Amino acid sequence: MKQFRIHKDDKVMVIAGKDEGKIGKVLKVLRKSDRVLVEKVNVAKRHVRPNPYKREPGGIVEKEMPIHVSNLMVVCSACGKPTRVGYRYTEDGKKIRFCKKCNETL
């Protein structure tokens, strides 16, 4: 499997495309297609049929669509800026991510 520097529940900023500059939380990482679902980013309208068994009404629903991982940057919680992610090992051998701008752990 591919390793992404972006994980679920990370705060990310869109750096390219129609939603450039928006910040959202990662809902899901789709590793096979190199894409990520981000909350309130890349929203499309979908027509949905009503489902009487689940008691869901039909109509037009706004839904988040996947965005390519290369168009996202992790936002550091300490400095609040979009940053690149580095890796280092702790004394006990655990691998952690850190912010390349302020050296804080993510």
Q: What is the pLDDT of residue 10?
A: 94
pLDDT tens, position by position, 11-24:
999 999 999 999 99
pLDDT given for residue 1 in this prediction: 65
Tell me if the pTM is above 0.75: yes
**pLDDT score of 99:** 94
Closest CA to 104 of 91, 9, 86, 94: 86
Phi first, then psi, for residue 12 (nearest 5°) are -125, 155
**Residue 72 confidence (pLDDT):** 96
User: What would the pLDDT profile of 29-68 be if each residue is shown by its tens digit?
Assistant: 999 999 999 999 999 999 999 999 999 899 999 999 999 9
Residue-wise pLDDT tens digits, 63-89: 999 999 999 999 999 999 999 999 999
To the nearest whole number, what is the mean pLDDT of the chain? 94
